[in-house]
Structure 1
Amino acid sequence: MNTMTLWHLSGWQFAALAAAALLVGFSKTAVSGANTVSLAVFAAVLPARASTGVLLPVLIAGDLLAVATYRRHAHWPTLWRLFPAVAVGVVAGTLFLVWADDGVVRTSIGAILLLMAGVTVWRRRTAGTPQAPDAVTTRAGRVKARSYGVLGGFTTMVANAGGPVMSLYLLSTGFRKLGFLGTSAFFFLIVNVSKVPFSVGLGLMDRRSLLLDAALAVFVVPGALFGKWAVPRINQRLFEQLVIAATVVGGLQLLLR
Structure 2
Amino acid sequence: MNDIVLSAQGLVKRFGGIVATQDVTLDLRRGARHALIGPNGAGKTTLINLLTGVLVPTAGRIVLDGEDISRLAPHRRVARGLVRTFQINQLFDSMTPLETLTLVVSQQRGVAAQWWRALGSDRGVVERAAQLLEQFRLAEVARQPTRELAYGKRRLLEIAIALACEPRVLLLDEPVAGVPAGEREELLQTVAALPKDVSVLLIEHDMDLVFSFADRMTVLVNGAVLTEGTPEAIAADSRVKEVYLGHGSTAEASHE
TM-score where L is the length of structure 2 = 0.31
Greater relative contact order, per chain length (Cα 8 Å cut-off, separation 6+): 1
Greater radius of gyration (CA): 2
Please identify which structure carries the higher helix content: 1
TM-score where L is the length of structure 1 = 0.31
